[in-house]
Every structure is written in structure tokens, then in C-alpha cells.
Chains A and B, each alone.
Chain A
Amino acid sequence: MVLLDLQDHATMGDDLPLDGLLTKLASAGLSGPGPRIIARLGGADPLAAILSEIDETVLPRTLDFSTDAGRRVHCDVVGRRLLKVSDIVSPSPLPGQAALLGADLDASQGDAGDRLRAMFLGAMQGADILSVEAHMLGRDVAPGEVGISAALLADMWGFALDPDPPTDAAAVLGGFLSAIEQNVQAGIWMHGEEADSFGEEATLARLGPPVDLDAAAGELVAARIDPLEPAPLLATRMSGGDVRVIARFGDQVLVLLVNADAEADIAQHWRCLTGA
């Protein structure tokens, strides 16, 4: 992704038409709802991408890994640990499938790491794209289910888990804005001391009192679910029905007025782009 140069319009209160602003964001990728692509042929290592997804999963979830070659591997995950491979869809059995499918995993099984690696590599065979979709785990986690941590699997497979989130805030927020463009009436994009605004003045005024970075960031802190992390996205429905959205990525914040009933679409696009 390419960091966008907004310096030409980098004073508070500068107005840009939204399509003009979006033209500057040509490098920012669009994503639609549904599974999220985490690795492509020639890009990120798919095994590292799988481990990263497991490592980012704290609550009980089934991660549905799927490839464009038609194979799917469903993994039960909680607390950054892979509990079991709960389902496999493949035209032909994957390496180690019989032993892995449905079996409780734990680190004391000396060969579990090797089996999992071979199984995932088999699932990726002939595929160019690996995607993931998270679902709620449809069962209780038994007290004895300990699983194998993503960190341990990373050690076994020779990877270092990347603790740093993507940092190209301009490209991520640009991609988000492009994806929801048809629902956006007006907005302000704040980066550092500067801001770009778009939309009619009267519509912008409906965003509320003078918006600044600290105030918007403060609202996200008030909306935090994780006590240690401000919420990345907050959407509130206003009395007229329209929705005010605050989205933060890195040190940049978007404050938007969007059409009524667009929250679900907007949230879906945000998750697709950021994985959050």
C-alpha cells in the first residue's frame, strides 16, 4: 500500500469533493463483505498468515480458512490457541487429516505441530488465495481443552509472530472511505494537526460541535470494549436517523455522516479491511 500525500489540502477546514479526495486514494484496496483475504501467491506466507489469525483470536471462535482451490479448514480457537481442526472440506484427503480432524490438540503431542503444518500446506496446494472468516464457536470449550498456542506453533514452524499491526493508516482509511462512498454524506479526515473535510457545509455542521482529533479519539476511548484499547469504530444513530461514524486507524481518524441504515454495511467493510 502507498502512503497518500494529502499535504496539498492539509489545512483545517479545507473542503474537497469526496470523489476528488477518493481520486487521491487510488492505491487503497477495496474489499467487500465476506471472507477476508489474508495471503496471496507471491505475497505473505500462508502459514504465517494462519498463525497470525489464531494469535489475534482471544474469544471462542471457529476460523474458517478457505482457498480459491476449493478447500476449507475449520479451526476451533480460543485464547490465541488452536484447540482442534473441527472440519475439513477437500476434494481429496489432506495430509494427516484422519489423525487431526476432531482431535483435541495439546503441546504434549510431539508431532502435532508437524501434522498441522503438513495439513495446512496440503490445503494450500494449487491455491493462489487464502481467506479467513471468523464465526462464533458453536459449542462450549471443555476445561481439559488446552490446544496449542499460536506462539508455540510459530516456534515449531520457524516463524516470528508479527506484533505490529499494519501502519499504513492513510491507505486503510482511504480504502474504507472508497468502499462506503455511496453512503457517505459528509466527513472530516484528521491526520496529525491537519484535516480534510468534504460535503456541504450544512451537512458537515450536523456532525456536531467543532470536531478535533482529541475529541474524536476521546469518544473512541469512551466506547472501548477492550479496557486497554480504544474502539476502532463507533457508529451512533442520531435523532434524524442518520448515522455518525468515527473510525480510527493508527494516528488518523475519520468522522463521517452516513445514510441511515448503513451501519451494518459500514461495519462489514471495516472488518474486511482491517480484520478488526
Chain B
Amino acid sequence: MTETRTVMASLDALCAAVPGVETAVYMDMNQGTVLCASARVQVPQERLDTLCAMAATLLGQGEDREDEALILSATETLLLHRARRNAGEALGVVCAPGGDLANTLAQTRETLDSLAEAA
């Protein structure tokens, strides 16, 4: 429970600190489930399920797995980062277009670092 609160607080802090971040999700890619989510707007469950599936597909599970993925669409940017403390977990961040993506990437990586240290 304490760990969940730590992750939740980190996601809330990420959403609050970085302009343009609309949703931050911590996922278990093996189970395909969202462990924690922080969002400025209500996010439908099917949307969260889609993020989990995308993280599992794009970050992969094999030896040549990727650690990060960045996806652009017309209306948003999605960042997926494999967790440092558990390779089966991932952090997903949905941002508005037009924001400072370099800052968002840096803050997202810092969040992953802090979660790894807290584990």
C-alpha cells in the first residue's frame, strides 16, 4: 500500500509539474493492468487498457527490448518508458502537442529514477 502511494504521488507530481502532461499511468505490462493513474481529466478504462497493450507491444519482452517509445498523433504525444526497478512495468505519459517535449522527457525520466530509488 505504501508503495502504491509512492507511485501515485510521483504520478500526481509529474502531472502537476509539467505543463502539457494530461495523464500519467503506471502499468504492469505482463498482466496488462494499470497499477496507478493520475489524470487531469477522466480517462475511460478502455483507453487505459489500450495504453497497457501498446506498452507491451512497443517496449517488447525479449532480449532486444526497447526502453522508451515516443508516439505522435495529430492531437497528442505518448511517451512510454520501461520502469528501471522492474522490466515488466512501464510508465506512460500522455501530453498535449505543442509543449516542451524535451522537458517532459527529462521530467519523466527523473520520475522513473525516483521510483527506482524508492523501491
With beta carbons under 8 angstroms apart, the residue of A58, A134, A231 that contacts B71 is A231
What distance in Å separates the Cβ of A146 from its nearest Cβ neighbour in chain B?
18
Contacts of A236 in B (CB 8 A): 58, 66, 68-70
B33 is an interface residue with CB less than 8 A from chain A: no
Q: Are B72 and A233 in contact (CB under 8 A)?
A: yes
Question: Looking at the complex, which of B3-11, B24-32, B83-91, B92-100 is the stretch in contact with chain A?
Answer: B92-100
**C-alpha spacing A232/B98, complex, angstroms:** 16
Q: Tell me the smallest distance from the CB of A92 to a CB of chain B, in Å.
A: 28
Given A135-B96, A222-B54, A263-B105 contact (CB < 8 Å)? yes
B45 at the interface (CB under 8 A from A): no
- Give Cα A114–Cα B58 distance, bound, in whole angstroms: 48
Interface residue tally of chain A, by bracket? Answer: 35 or more
Q: Chain B interface: which of A10-18, A183-191, A192-200, A266-274?
A: A266-274
Q: List the A side residues contacting B74 at CB < 8 Å.
A: 56, 58, 226, 229, 232, 275-276
Decide: B72 and A232 in contact? CB cutoff 8 A: yes
A97 in the interface, Cβ–Cβ < 8 Å?
no
Structural contact, A276 and B73, CB atoms closer than 8 A:
yes
B47: min CB distance to chain A, Å = 10
Give the Cβ gap from A131 to chain B, nearest Cβ, in Å. Answer: 12
A133 to B96, CA, bound (A): 11
B111 on the A face (CB < 8 A): no
Contact of A264 with B101 in the complex, beta carbons under 8 Å:
yes
Q: Which residues of A contact B57 (CB under 8 A)?
A: 222-223
- Chain B residues closer than 8 Å to A222, beta-carbon distance: 54, 57-58
Which partner residue on chain B sits nearest A276 by CB separation?
B74
Is the C-beta of B67 less than 8 angstroms from some C-beta in chain A? yes
- A225 an interface residue at 8 Å Cβ cutoff? yes
Pairwise interchain contact A270-B98, C-beta atoms closer than 8 A = no
CA A33 to CA B101, docked complex, whole Å:
11
Q: Is the beta-carbon distance between A271 and B67 smaller than 8 angstroms?
A: no
Question: Which residues of chain A are within 8 angstroms of B2 by Cβ–Cβ distance?
Answer: none
Q: Whole-angstrom distance between the alpha carbons of A237 and B59 in the complex?
A: 9
Query: What B residues does A140 contact at CB under 8 A?
Result: 41
**Mask of A114-155 contacts with B, CB within 8 angstroms, 1/0:** 000000000000000000011110001000000000000000
- Is the CB of B117 closer than 8 A to any CB of chain A? no
Nearest chain A CB to B29's CB is how many angstroms away? 14
Q: Of B64, B67, B70, B104, which contacts A234 at CB under 8 A? A: B70
In the assembled complex, 5 residue pairs joining A and B whose CB atoms fall closer than 8 Å, in A order, are: A61-B96, A226-B75, A231-B71, A238-B66, A267-B101
Contacts A232-B74, A237-B66 known; 9 new A-B pairs at CB < 8 A: A134-B98, A225-B75, A226-B73, A235-B69, A235-B71, A237-B69, A238-B64, A239-B66, A271-B98
Q: Which 6 A-B pairs have the closest CB atoms?
A: A136-B96, A264-B102, A237-B68, A225-B73, A264-B101, A134-B98
